[in-house]
Amino acid sequence: MITTNIITKIKYNYILLKNRIKEDEPLFFATIKKVCIKIAIAALAVIGANVTLSLALPTTLITILSYMVAVVVAIYGTSSLTTKDKE
């Protein structure tokens, strides 16, 4: 009984999350998402070029770019969950 109740809550939360992602978002957060994609692509391009072309860029730079990608993904995910107020 307890397991069924937990599974039901998980399914309900999943549906809420899925519906929230599909809703319209404010212009500000749509712009943030676009900027996040551009930053992530640039950072991943530098990391990929370093590995593919053996550029031997400083480890500190690669570490900073890796963290930047992680932060951008978190910001993108958060801005995806914002929705317009229902009037």
Q: What is the mean pLDDT of each run of 10 residues along the chain (87 residues)?
A: 82 90 90 96 96 95 97 94 81
pTM: 0.77
Determine the structural domain holding residue 82 and report its residue range: 24-87
CA atoms within 13 A on the CB side of 74: 6
In b/e form, how buried is each residue of 30-63, taking b as 16+ CB within 10 angstroms? Answer: eebbeebeebbeebeebbeebeeeeeeeeeeebe
- 87 lies in some domain: yes
pLDDT at 83: 86
* pLDDT value of residue 1: 58
Place of tokens 């070029």: 49
Structural domain includes residue 44? yes
What is the count of structural domains for the chain?
Answer: 1
* Residue 15 covered by a domain: no
- Looking at the domain assignment, is residue 14 inside a domain? no
Query: Is 38 a domain residue?
Result: yes
- Please state, in angstroms and rounded to a whole number, the distance separating the CA atoms of residues 61 and 50: 11
* Domain membership flag for residue 7: no
Give domain status of residue 54, yes or no: yes
**Do 32 and 87 meet the contact criterion of CB atoms below 8 Å apart?**
no
The pLDDT score that the predictor gives to residue 85 is 79
